[in-house]
Amino acid sequence: MTPAERPPELIDATHIMLTGTRELRQRTPLFNVLTVLTVAASVGAMGARRPEFLGLVAPLIALLALGFARWRPVVGEVRLGIDAPHLVEGDEFAVLVEVDGGDEGLERVEIELKLGERVSARGTLRSVTSVAAGTTRHLAFPVSADEWGVGTIEQVTIRVTDRFGLFGGTVSRSANVSMRIGLAEDRLKASLEADRFRRVVGSHLSSDRGQGLEIADIRPYLPGDSMRDINWRITNRRQEPWVTLRHPDRSATVVVIVDAHDGESDARSTTQRRSVAAAMALARGHLSNHDPVGLLVVGHTVRWLPPRLGRNQLHRIADELISVSNAPDASLRMYRPPAIHNIGKETIVVAVTPLRDPLMVSLIAELRSRGNTIAVLAPEVEEEPPSRIPFVVEGRTSTLARRLASAEQAVGIQSLRAHGVVMVPWAVDEPVTAVIDAVRRLRQSMRRVTS
């Protein structure tokens, strides 16, 4: 086999054993129909004493006899994987299925895939094939990665019958194949090159208002210029003092905090996805302005990415946020992250959180008390649809608990506002750019008031 003919290697393969599967040892409807027809026609022929009627029944008997003679227990295995280790949005890849025929072969096999979120089929997801004994059949189903996140293949359905379709059955198994879909390179480039986010995200105060690193111009020394600005090389050449002028360094370190706590219901899961989208937009915007951006994910998991610059940092942030968007609801308890000590006092912090957990409120309050500039985007949670089950009466305890939690949340928000935290509620139908713009305007107005 030449390298060109060699089938691509399966990545993250899932194995499904067909050998010994009871579901594949059933009689099919075709067998039942043939049996009924054979018995009816045979009895009719004998009852009417008309041997020519056996002409009708002879092929049916032949088919049944062949079916019994050739029946073998199903032996085989199906392996499932993908052909690309790294995917980005818009990529087309193949879901590869290898059907191993075992010692007896599989005379008719149907494979059907069911895709999960973020991926879609580029053709049919069904295949009917036949696998000879001792060989392996390779199937490829074209699929495209539609959206950044973790895509999944939810289910694979395998139907195996014998050559005549008389015996066999169907098994459906969870595929357990997932793939991480990264952001497309052109989107990354666009977000890092364009300056449009500056208008949306807004200008922020520089952490260092003095000299930047970027050289703007040189000119002769004037009284009042700092001695540190003297350009000694040019001064030496021109035999008079010259100074270097620099652009002011307007970059600021930004840390985005994402509350990964929600997700136990559909509405909250949607809120979490919006939080992740907002965090990604913030990170892109600030990185496009050459601001170091860090990420702190808190909730059932704590993840900390120190502030850095560049496209690689955006990739890292996207990777971390992919994990958040698909995090299991392992725990409802939020833990205080130790990483907050790594957040500098000059750092601008933007938290995306519905502030449902008191620990999140205390975390933001602690950062604010250390002098950090903080803005909170609070995505509003979509109202849960009313229960479809009639006559379900909510317990008094749960009603009280909900009211208590709501009051606690309101107190927390009020307390943060009192400490100078910019609070921006984010309605369900409001675009993320509009709400980030609102943060900028509110922060500027608060700065005017305080100055």
Partner 1 sequence: MLTWHLDRLVRSATLCLLAAVVITGAMGFVIKAGSDVSNVLGGLLVGALIMGVGGIVGSMGTTGFGALLFSFIASLANPGAPTLLLAGCVVVIALLLVDLSITLRRAPLIDRRVWIDSVVNAAVVSALGAALFGVAWLVGTLATWQAVVLPFGVVALGYAVRLAADSHTKRYRS
- Residue 394 is a binding residue for partner 1 (CB under 8 A): no
CA angle 139, 143, 149 (to 5 degrees): 130
Q: In the bound complex, what is the minimum distance in angstroms from residue 109's beta carbon to partner 1?
A: 9
Q: Which residues contact 406 (CB under 8 A, 6 or more apart)?
A: none
Pairing between β-strand 77-82 and β-strand 11-17 as defined by DSSP bridges: antiparallel
334 SS3 class: coil
Work out which of 7, 11, 23, 64 binds partner 1, going by CB under 8 A: 64
- Residue 344 is a binding residue for partner 1 (CB under 8 A): no
Alpha helices (H) along 92-184: none
Point out which span in 52-60, 88-96, 294-302, 375-383 binds partner 1 (CB under 8 A): 52-60
370 SS3 class: coil
- Residue 29 is a binding residue for partner 1 (CB under 8 A): yes
Q: Report the alpha-carbon distance of residue 139 to residue 120 in Å, rounded.
A: 17
Point out which span in 71-79, 88-96, 313-321, 336-344 binds partner 1 (CB under 8 A): 71-79
Question: Are the C-beta atoms of residues 238 and 250 closer than 8 Å to each other?
Answer: no
- Residue 245 is a binding residue for partner 1 (CB under 8 A): no
- CB closer to partner 1 out of 16 and 45: 45
- CB closer to partner 1 out of 61 and 413: 61
Binding to partner 1, residues 160-179 (CB under 8 A): 161, 163-165
Point out which span in 129-137, 284-292, 325-333, 426-434 binds partner 1 (CB under 8 A): 129-137
Alpha helices (H) along 289-395: 311-325, 358-369
Bridge partner residues of 172 (DSSP): 157
The DSSP symbol for 387 reads: P
Q: In the bound complex, what is the minimum distance in angstroms from residue 81's beta carbon to partner 1?
A: 18
Q: Report the alpha-carbon distance of residue 268 to residue 384 in Å, rounded.
A: 9
Work out which of 9, 32, 366, 407 binds partner 1, going by CB under 8 A: 32
Q: Report the alpha-carbon distance of residue 12 to residue 176 in Å, rounded.
A: 9
Work out which of 2, 4, 5, 49 binds partner 1, going by CB under 8 A: 49
Q: In the bound complex, what is the minimum distance in angstroms from residue 62's beta carbon to partner 1?
A: 4
- Residue 139 is a binding residue for partner 1 (CB under 8 A): yes
Question: Are the C-beta atoms of residues 241 and 227 closer than 8 Å to each other?
Answer: no
186 SS3 class: helix
Work out which of 15, 20, 33, 237 binds partner 1, going by CB under 8 A: 33
Work out which of 8, 15, 130, 407 binds partner 1, going by CB under 8 A: 130
Q: Report the alpha-carbon distance of residue 82 to residue 140 in Å, rounded.
A: 9
- CB closer to partner 1 out of 99 and 439: 99
344 is written with which tokens? 């500098």
- CB closer to partner 1 out of 142 and 371: 142
Residues constituting the chain? 451
Work out which of 11, 13, 61, 192 binds partner 1, going by CB under 8 A: 61
Question: Are the C-beta atoms of residues 348 and 372 closer than 8 Å to each other?
Answer: yes
Work out which of 7, 13, 14, 72 binds partner 1, going by CB under 8 A: 72
Q: 81-110 mask for partner 1 (x: CB under 8 A)?
A: --------------------------xx-x
Bridge partner residues of 140 (DSSP): 96
Q: Report the alpha-carbon distance of residue 355 to residue 298 in Å, rounded.
A: 12
Q: In the bound complex, what is the minimum distance in angstroms from residue 55's beta carbon to partner 1?
A: 4
**Which residue matches tokens 């100074």?**
243
Work out which of 73, 210, 310, 371 binds partner 1, going by CB under 8 A: 73
Work out which of 11, 14, 19, 53 binds partner 1, going by CB under 8 A: 53
183 is written with which tokens? 């952001």
364 is written with which tokens? 């933001």
* Residue ranges binding partner 1 (CB under 8 A): 25, 28-30, 32-34, 36-37, 40-42, 44, 46, 49-66, 68, 71-73, 107-108, 110, 112, 123-124, 126-130, 137, 139, 159, 161, 163-165
